[in-house]
A = this chain, B = another copy of it.
């Protein structure tokens, strides 16, 4: 038996501790409903009064927080309340779905300050699409009226597989011609901003954690339904990205629910006529609208297709929830609003009745409160998360 040879973990030192503690204080202020006094901050973070005082001074100097009032405590002098200054910094999020590109500007409280939506160009030319994305980001920032030096960065959520280290979109099933495309560096050049690239499903899960339904748990799954589908996974407060940042593929769970597959089944069973035979992601989405419209009118065949897919997805989600001991499942994504009325009741029922869902605790099934923009909001949250959240790993020398 030999001991192993993975790279040694690195040590830490005082300057790194200082940066970390600053993030801890900022996060405590940001998360509080009505701001916090220095005394409350010291109690919440475990830091000394002196350390909290120094950190607050730096955060005030940088404009990230404000003194917004006094809190009377009966005896003694009133305490000054610190709140986040939500419009002191912003992040941009871009969500590239094969059918639609969504853009948002987010403030520090996770509010959408400005948004934009454009059909994904139906050209097999990533350069042209990237140029359009760059232009749209410019339009977005102009409309938002936000100064460039207040923008922390740009996050981009793309369909997998991606090469996270190199910033490439590798070869997604429904983005024709996108083979190892350097989307991250292209957008960095086009916008002059620091850019982070991640998978759409991962971004959606981060959105839910920052600003959505996953407030009170560190163990949840986000089932994403767009042109493709997949899962964003959070375990013990950490996003699961895996060996190559491509975690979240659900094909092996028989839960890969794509717009194309739904429409193809409808054509194959005669629910939709042959004119709906899928050509592009955008055409698929329009055909799906016809399919869900039929189901809304009570069409038996259309309803059966949606119910069948809802059941398969739910069984896959139940398998993953048991494997990972999750206590919350959130559904969302660009086509979720069209599917929710069929999928949500079936998914809730199947997951709760699954003999494999852990008996130790209930599993809550819900849908995102962030709407169809969840991918773009998540992309912006990638920036907020990396820039502002305390990251224990950041303590170690790199």
Contact residues of A with B, CB < 8 Å? 1-6, 8-14, 17, 20-21, 24-25, 27-28, 30-31, 33, 44-48, 51, 109-112, 161, 163, 170-171, 209-212, 214-219, 231, 233, 235-238, 240-253, 315, 318-327, 354-361, 369-370, 390, 392-393, 395-397
Which residue of chain B is the closest to A164 with respect to CB atoms? Answer: B360
A-B pairs with lowest CB-CB distance, top 4: A242-B325, A252-B319, A4-B215, A46-B397
> B356–A251 contact, CB under 8 A?
yes
A interface: dominant SS:
loop
Q: How far is the CA of A9 from the CA of B356 in the complex (A)?
A: 32
Which residue of chain B is the closest to A249 with respect to CB atoms? Answer: B322
> B45–A28 contact, CB under 8 A?
no
**Number of copies of this chain that the complex holds:** 2
Q: How far is the CA of A5 from the CA of B210 in the complex (A)?
A: 10
- What are 25 inter-chain pairs, A to B, with CB distance below 8 A? A1-B110, A1-B211, A1-B212, A1-B369, A2-B33, A3-B210, A6-B237, A8-B24, A8-B27, A9-B45, A9-B390, A10-B46, A11-B21, A11-B51, A13-B17, A13-B47, A14-B14, A170-B359, A235-B242, A236-B238, A236-B240, A240-B325, A244-B325, A251-B322, A252-B319
The CB with the most chain B CB atoms within 10 A, among A2, A5, A11, is that of A11
The CB with the most chain B CB atoms within 10 A, among A8, A209, A250, A326, is that of A8
> B31–A5 contact, CB under 8 A?
yes
> B251–A355 contact, CB under 8 A?
yes
Residue numbers in B under 8 Å from A170 (CB-CB) = 359-360
> B324–A11 contact, CB under 8 A?
no
In the complex with contacts A11-B46, A215-B6, A252-B315, A360-B236 CB distance below 8 A: no
The distance from the CB of A115 to the nearest CB of chain B, in whole angstroms, is 13
> A323–B325 contact, CB under 8 A?
no
Residue numbers in B under 8 Å from A48 (CB-CB) = 13
> B45–A10 contact, CB under 8 A?
yes
> A247–B325 contact, CB under 8 A?
yes
Q: How far is the CA of A244 from the CA of B111 in the complex (A)?
A: 32
Residue numbers in B under 8 Å from A240 (CB-CB) = 235-236, 240, 324-325
The distance from the CB of A210 to the nearest CB of chain B, in whole angstroms, is 7
The CB with the most chain B CB atoms within 10 A, among A210, A211, A356, is that of A356
Q: How far is the CA of A197 from the CA of B254 in the complex (A)?
A: 34
Residue numbers in B under 8 Å from A1 (CB-CB) = 109-112, 211-212, 369-370
Which of these, B2, B12, B109, B358, contacts A161 with CB under 8 Å?
B358
The distance from the CB of A236 to the nearest CB of chain B, in whole angstroms, is 7
In the complex with contacts A1-B369, A27-B9, A211-B1, A241-B236 CB distance below 8 A: yes
